[in-house]
Amino acid sequence: MAGVSVQAFRRQGRRYGAGLVCSEMVSCAGLHHGNERTLGYLRIASDERPLAVQIFGSEPGVMAEAARMVEDAGADLVDVNFGCPVKKVTKTGAGATLLEDPERACAVVSAVADAVDVPVTVKMRRGLENGSRACLELGPRLVEAGAESLTLHPRSARQMYTGEADHSLTAEFVSLVDVPVIASGDVTSRGRAQAILATTGAAAVMVGRAAQGNPWALREIVDGSAEPPSREEVVAELVLFMRETVRELGEQRANGFLKKFYGWYLGRGRFPRPFKQELVQLETITDVEARLFEAAPGARFVLQRIEAEQPPVEETLLADMPISIYGGG
């Protein structure tokens, strides 16, 4: 969920029923070198907890240092990424590459688990290549190294997000480890979630792409509320997401970051395609907000209600983080 799971996304997920939310993956090297943007990922609001912060890297010592920073920032879990299939991550020996390097993978988890008091979890794929069963060998070893829960997305790194997630492999995986397993991949509805839980024995499911611009999917999965949102609800949630993202990232960075979200929120037949294309062409977020309210005037009142229902937010900040992060960059 890199480039997606910002604080606004996580807080929205909690409001719609997610039991646990996770940050986008954070580079341990970026934390080690004090990179300002990377440190900004450790900004944690009180109403998004419980929160897992996910770190990636391949050097046990640097990962342990990053884990301590994550714990100090207030995260409830440290999640280790052994699943990212993107080349710029795997070519460094991190992400899914570690599925085929069990000795290093176990050394990373052991170092992280020894470094922190909060639980350590691992997110993984089945292996690098299609049909790989590397996860079945590695999973029990990661538990021995200190992982207290494992998340399996049963696609290979080569598959990326094509094809279907093979949850028959998830069932095998569950039978081999004595810690809770979270099933990830193609969790798009309540019925699908129930089927995965029933057939795999997993303790929980993880929702990713299905919630992009669609928090109502979480509500449907959690309690069966299948009523689609009104246009006013969609616009209100999008505007709130925009405002919170500007607060977190600063207006200049948020302007480009948000463009992909317009299509995610306004798609699924909610608004015509030309309207989405029009928003992308607007120069400022203020212009986008004005156009959205013009298309759905009643959204202003829905937004006021949502904002009134939100509790006051307290944020946990690392004392040595650059102040400019919190002023919008």
Give the catalytic positions in this structure.
84
Q: Of 68, 101, 96, whose CA–CA distance to 81 is shortest?
A: 96
- For residue 54, what are the β-bridge partners? 79
C-alpha–C-alpha distance, residues 47 and 49, integer Å: 6
In this structure, the dihedral spanned by the alpha carbons of residues 215, 217, 223 and 227, taken in order and rounded to 10 degrees, is: 100
Q: Token pair for residue 35?
A: 């990179």
Q: Strand, coil or helix: what is 185?
A: coil
Determine the Cα–Cα distance for residues 90 and 79; give it in Å rounded to an integer.
Answer: 17
- Looking only at the bridges linking them, the beta strands covering 204-206 and 26-27 are unpaired
Closest CA to 14 of 40, 42, 52: 52
